[in-house]
A and B are shown apart, each in its own frame.
Chain A
């Protein structure tokens, strides 16, 4: 298969390209004009474009069988994230709509779920965020990106698969939101026994490539996680130990943190009405979307696509912390 990968220069995109090459696919990788090209195999075709600029994107789709859309901004303010994630997706898919390409795998995120509505288990049937504007810029952008993708796919009858990874981690991306917060040498964990919806970056890439290769994924949405066996305490302890840090680990019960967030939100409403602004940790819905103690299911992925993570947590740790 000849596959076009957007966001190929990113943390996940690079691994997706590597996995596709290993799987025997031909790859055309979209890299921003000023970004260095990763050290891929020589036959990976580089297509230079920034999706925020709509010009000449159509040619990226020439002779392509399928598209993996992994482009999204993970840094910058809300405005920049929206432009680089949502407006860029509009440009990209408008170009795709002018070509015969019909197969699209979209890389979404766990942030599209309304964690506050999840009871015990968060899976593909969990309610999506509807009122997202008090959430962070990344959440707003990813929700709107998925809306745009779904709308395009529906109006052009594309074969769409949506992948929603949990916390993607790996080398140089070891610190994830679910860990809690780091204040200097102190790590505060909001619910140390909470399970983490981890997705190691190479496993995530494998999962996306598997969805591409298996027709059963068409028209489906999958949570892309390795499992939920690892808890916050272990993840943080492994990180601290393997990076050789001398750090304090402070566990704080989840409901204590949530109670503080509700108290802060209540006080803010009394003092300032709806206009009040609080740090993200003290906004109850934002707190919940990072730390809520839930089970996270990848059953659909394992049953429908027969996918299991190729690397165990131990192997992922070894790969990630090799440099240390």
Chain B
């Protein structure tokens, strides 16, 4: 809970869910229509956490009323819709932000810190790999009774995760200069069009390899940054575990032993800290709380938001490029 923030109201199409949320978190007002909410409440920021297909009309209504918006990813279903919202936000002098919470994930922040301290050297490549058991029993992704909201996205279920992979890639590669993708279907009995995705991104500073697998197990969201001096690797689902292998001078057999001991130590330390965090009720979405803290601080001090429109624009364009090839399978 952020100290300087009061939740003014919550809204859900289900009145019971809105009421339950208000009761649970001691929120004074709840609505089952966002139009009613906007008629009655003037919050400093509206969080849009609905399915992607509804982002555009709700964000459009909020911005038209002069309200700042922080929207779940992907901010819009198409890049064109984002451009329209951006234009409206600028016209109304409103903040328009996409929830790119992994930018502020503690492990990503630590990698950035290592990079700026020169410990990784120059970045050569970044690998971002997400494995998710989308075929687990009861999985909403393959619910044949009510299709998952991501089915409306280009790239289907995979499309729901492209935003996270895209902004993390750009953060390390710089501006995108070229993209190659490969989409595949591993599970032949799957109702989904695709469940595997790979991409190579060429950026101004380095390359990035992106992978989504609906079949590889166990679940994980891995980021591995390779530099001229060291590799660093973290599973973003299991913070704060992070391991690093440095370039060391000396006898190879000895340096390998030192590296192995150092990695074991980092793994053990990170795993225990991760377990401790779980007991302490700290979510693995730890980037979200940092993003929200920075966002509200920016609103309070009238300073720049933590994610710029240019960064959201670059992300939306890369997502557009990554998902463009999906239909060519």
Q: Are A275 and B138 in contact (CB under 8 A)?
A: no
- Residues in A with CB closer than 8 Å to B298 are none
Q: Are B281 and A144 in contact (CB under 8 A)?
A: no
Q: Are B138 and A76 in contact (CB under 8 A)?
A: yes
A34: nearest chain-B partner, CB-CB: B144
Among B17, B146, B280, contact of A275 (Cβ-Cβ < 8 Å) = B280
Query: When each residue 53-97 of chain B gets 1 if its CB lies under 8 Å from chain A and 0 otherwise, what string results?
Result: 000000000000000000000000000000000000000000000
- Residues in B with CB closer than 8 Å to A268 are 279
Q: Are B16 and A35 in contact (CB under 8 A)?
A: no
Q: Are A277 and B20 in contact (CB under 8 A)?
A: no
- Residues in B with CB closer than 8 Å to A87 are 13-14, 16-17
Query: When each residue 3-18 of chain B gets 1 if its CB lies under 8 Å from chain A and 0 otherwise, what string results?
Result: 0000000000111110
Q: Are B281 and A272 in contact (CB under 8 A)?
A: yes
Query: How many chain-B residues does the 8 Å CB contact rule pick out?
Result: 18
Among B15, B24, B146, B279, contact of A272 (Cβ-Cβ < 8 Å) = B279
A80: nearest chain-B partner, CB-CB: B140
Q: Are B280 and A272 in contact (CB under 8 A)?
A: yes
Question: Separation in Å of the B6 CB from the closest CB of chain A?
Answer: 18
Most A C-beta atoms less than 10 A away, residue of B13, B137, B145, B281: B145
A148 in the interface (beta carbon within 8 A): yes
Which residues 1-58 in B have Cβ within 8 Å of A in the complex?
13-17, 20, 24
* A-B interface contact total, Cβ < 8 Å: 56
- Residues in A with CB closer than 8 Å to B279 are 268, 271-272, 276-278
A124 in the interface (beta carbon within 8 A): no
Q: Do A52 and B146 contact each other (CB < 8 Å), given the known contacts A87-B14, A272-B281?
A: yes
Most A C-beta atoms less than 10 A away, residue of B13, B278, B279: B279
Q: Are A140 and B146 in contact (CB under 8 A)?
A: no
Q: Do A35 and B145 contact each other (CB < 8 Å), given the known contacts A90-B15, A148-B16?
A: yes
Whole-angstrom CA separation of A75 from B143 in the bound complex: 13
Q: Are A271 and B280 in contact (CB under 8 A)?
A: yes
Whole-angstrom CA separation of A307 from B15 in the bound complex: 37
A147 in the interface (beta carbon within 8 A): yes
B144: nearest chain-A partner, CB-CB: A34
Q: Are B144 and A33 in contact (CB under 8 A)?
A: yes
Q: Are B140 and A86 in contact (CB under 8 A)?
A: no
Among A33, A90, A277, contact of B16 (Cβ-Cβ < 8 Å) = A90
Question: Separation in Å of the A305 CB from the closest CB of chain B?
Answer: 30
B282 in the interface (beta carbon within 8 A): yes
Q: Are B16 and A80 in contact (CB under 8 A)?
A: no
A276: nearest chain-B partner, CB-CB: B281
A183 in the interface (beta carbon within 8 A): no
Question: Separation in Å of the B255 CB from the closest CB of chain A?
Answer: 39
A299 in the interface (beta carbon within 8 A): no
Q: Are A86 and B14 in contact (CB under 8 A)?
A: yes
A53 in the interface (beta carbon within 8 A): yes
Among B15, B20, B144, B280, contact of A276 (Cβ-Cβ < 8 Å) = B280
Question: Separation in Å of the B137 CB from the closest CB of chain A?
Answer: 7
Query: When each residue 118-139 of chain B gets 1 if its CB lies under 8 Å from chain A and 0 otherwise, what string results?
Result: 0000000000000000000110
Whole-angstrom CA separation of A76 from B279 in the bound complex: 22
Q: Are B281 and A277 in contact (CB under 8 A)?
A: yes
Q: Which 5 A-B pairs have the closest CB atoms?
A: A34-B144, A275-B281, A87-B14, A50-B145, A272-B280
10 A-B interface contacts by CB (under 8 A): A32-B145, A33-B144, A80-B140, A86-B20, A87-B16, A87-B17, A140-B20, A275-B282, A277-B279, A277-B280
13 further A-B pairs in the complex, CB-CB below 8 A; given A52-B145, A76-B138, A87-B13:
A32-B145, A52-B146, A75-B138, A82-B17, A86-B14, A87-B16, A90-B14, A90-B15, A147-B16, A271-B280, A272-B279, A276-B279, A276-B280
Which B residues are within 8 Å of any A CB, using their own CB? 13-17, 20, 24, 137-138, 140, 144-146, 278-282
